[in-house]
Amino acid sequence: GENVEQHPSTLSVQEGDSAVIKCTYSDSASNYFPWYKQELGKRPQLIIDIRSNVGEKKDQRIAVTLNKTAKHFSLHITETQPEDSAVYFCAGRSIQGGKLIFGQGTELSVKP
């Protein structure tokens, strides 16, 4: 069945460094890939998304890259700040209105 694998499960960086989180997906029909940030006890909040017709998308310090051939996509956060500390989830979806399949999550810790 559909599956999204995410790694690493935990990531610790120094403030100002970059952080990279990687995901792979199994369903070749997947065409939409959002990234969510979840702070402790809160709901997942969309931070960036990418569609399969685009290879890269950037929004200020956050960027996402997609390699459809290899079926993997990555989140890049530059100039990390302590407030970036949270759990980040990647996800994939194959049809309009279809379910999102989430990765296992990466707990990012940014040390001041």
Partner 1 sequence: EPEVTQTPSHQVTQMGQEVILRCVPISNHLYFYWYRQILGQKVEFLVSFYNNEISEKSEIFDDQFSVERPDGSNFTLKIRSTKLEDSAMYFCASTPGDSPLHFGNGTRLTVT
Residues forming the site for partner 1 (CB under 8 A): 32, 34, 36, 42-46, 49, 89, 91, 96-105
CB of 4 to partner 1, least distance (A): 9
**Between 58 and 99, CB nearer to partner 1:** 99
Category of 9 on φ-ψ map: left (φ > 0), alpha (ψ -120 to 50) or beta: alpha
**Between 20 and 100, CB nearer to partner 1:** 100
Neighbours of 53 (CB within 10 A): 8
CB of 91 to partner 1, least distance (A): 8
d(CA 17, CA 12): 10
**Between 73 and 89, CB nearer to partner 1:** 89
CB of 87 to partner 1, least distance (A): 9
Neighbours of 71 (CB within 10 A): 16
**Between 14 and 96, CB nearer to partner 1:** 96
CA separation, residue 18 to residues 34, 42, 52, 63, 97 (Å): 20, 24, 25, 11, 33
What residue spans of the chain are helical by DSSP H? Answer: none
CB of 16 to partner 1, least distance (A): 28
